[in-house]
Amino acid sequence: MTYREQRRAQLAAHARQAGLDGVLVHSWHRQTVAWLTGYAPGYVTNSATLWLGADGSERLSVRFGFDTDRARAYFGGEVTAAATPTAVIPAGATRIGLVAGDIAIDETTPGLLAALAGAGVEHVDLRDVVDELQEAKLPGEVEALRHAGEVAAAGLAAWGSDAPVSTSDYEIAARIEATCRAAGARRAVCLVGIGPGAVVSECLGTVVGQTDAVGLELTIYADEWCMHVNGQLRARESDPATDHAMAVCARARAAMLAVMRPGLAIDELVGTGDGVLATAGLLDAKEYDFGHGLAGDTPAHPRLIPGTGRVLCESAVTALHVAVRVPGGPTGFVGGPVVVTADGAHELNPTAPWAVLTEAGGSSCTTP
């Protein structure tokens, strides 16, 4: 049984235990159906809907009939074309679980709710159940994410370690995204920030100067797993303040990695990173959070922000990143995936550009 088949079986088992006829999983742009089947609908207006019966039956439908062959190649089971998500619900089903979205995005559209009501089908929202299932990874899922990390690492390294002077952010993003796609990513989106204190965002046509560092945020989907990594290309003529910011980010990330273990409170982990930034005088310049779980999409549990009341669990795979930004001043950005194991936490891709230097031979190109 593949890891995706195991996940589908877990969700069907939940339906049986809850007295439901089955679970309807609907995805438009988010990746829950892809996480369970390996098939992502793609296209702006396509969608996919998966039925998991409490009796073990499975059926996948796609909105665009011309894509059924591709869907079948990934899913392996019954695939039909249907204009409405409710078409895959078998006759006689009256009470079902519904998964349409995740912790970040709600894809429960008014049309979907109206169709369920029109069919006389009562539903129970099971997004939280899937969010929890996705946190602790199966062995095959860890390996799939490791592969996605390697693809992302190849993209992030496409320009080397130094900022390419006289090159636009469009060109920088294009090479990185093309490298990832050539290595197997279905989608790749690279955000870029050029110059002192620049926000990492969509490209604007900014050209790299002699004293400009370049911040990078890369999100890819490989084998329908989401990977999120960050880095910074060093300025041709670097300044001590930016070098310091980059080194502090790397130290904060290393300090958090060193304390991560199953059962550690997220608040304690965040406090460790904040402590390094505070000691360096850069806590007020902290940008974003310290990361989030990786699954079919992003973000996922655990979110590395204070106040969640959650703890790290064994087999979680998390994007661990640190960024600081002083408007018009020094910036630093580094991040990539780590896996939590029984004996602590480790770089998922120990030779990647973002990795903390270890005895096993990792790298740390963000430190001067």
- 129 & 144 share domain: no
CATH label of the domain that carries residue 100: 3.40.350.10
pLDDT at 144: 98
- 261 & 153 share domain: yes
- 313 & 342 share domain: yes
Residue 298 clears pLDDT 60, i.e. is over it: yes
**Is position 202 within any domain?**
yes
CB 59 within 8 A of CB 48: no
**Is position 101 within any domain?**
yes
Please report which residue ranges of 2-49 form alpha helices under DSSP H. 3-17, 32-37
Strand 22-27 versus strand 95-99 pairing type:
parallel
Q: Write down the pTM of the prediction.
A: 0.93
CATH label of the domain that carries residue 195: 3.90.230.10
Tokens of 229: 């990594």
pLDDT at 360: 36
- 147 & 275 share domain: yes
Tokens of 116: 């369920």
- Share of residues in the chain with pLDDT > 70 (%): 97
End residue of a domain, out of 66, 98, 133: 133
**Is position 27 within any domain?**
yes
- 108 & 147 share domain: no
Strand 185-194 versus strand 122-125 pairing type:
unpaired
Q: Where are the beta strands (DSSP E) in the chain?
A: 22-27, 48-53, 58-62, 79-81, 95-99, 122-125, 185-194, 214-222, 225-233, 286-287, 291-293, 317-325, 331-341, 344-347
- 171 & 31 share domain: no
- 19 & 127 share domain: yes
- 75 & 191 share domain: no
Residue with structure tokens 């969640």? 308
- 19 & 97 share domain: yes
Average model confidence (pLDDT) across the chain: 94
- 110 & 43 share domain: yes
End residue of a domain, out of 89, 104, 133: 133
Identify the weakest region by mean pLDDT among 40-44, 137-141, 204-208, 273-277: 40-44
- 124 & 201 share domain: no
Q: How many domains does the chain have?
A: 2
pLDDT at 166: 98
**Is position 222 within any domain?**
yes
- 144 & 21 share domain: no
Closest by Cα among 345, 366, 340, 344 to 355: 366
End residue of a domain, out of 93, 115, 133: 133
Overall average pLDDT of the 123-136 stretch: 97
The predicted-structure confidence for 271-289, as pLDDT tens digits, reads as follows 999 999 999 999 999 999 9
Domain that holds residue 281: 139-347
**Is position 357 within any domain?**
no
**Is position 291 within any domain?**
yes
Overall average pLDDT of the 301-312 stretch: 96
**Is position 114 within any domain?**
yes
Overall average pLDDT of the 202-207 stretch: 96
**Is position 278 within any domain?**
yes
pLDDT at 289: 95
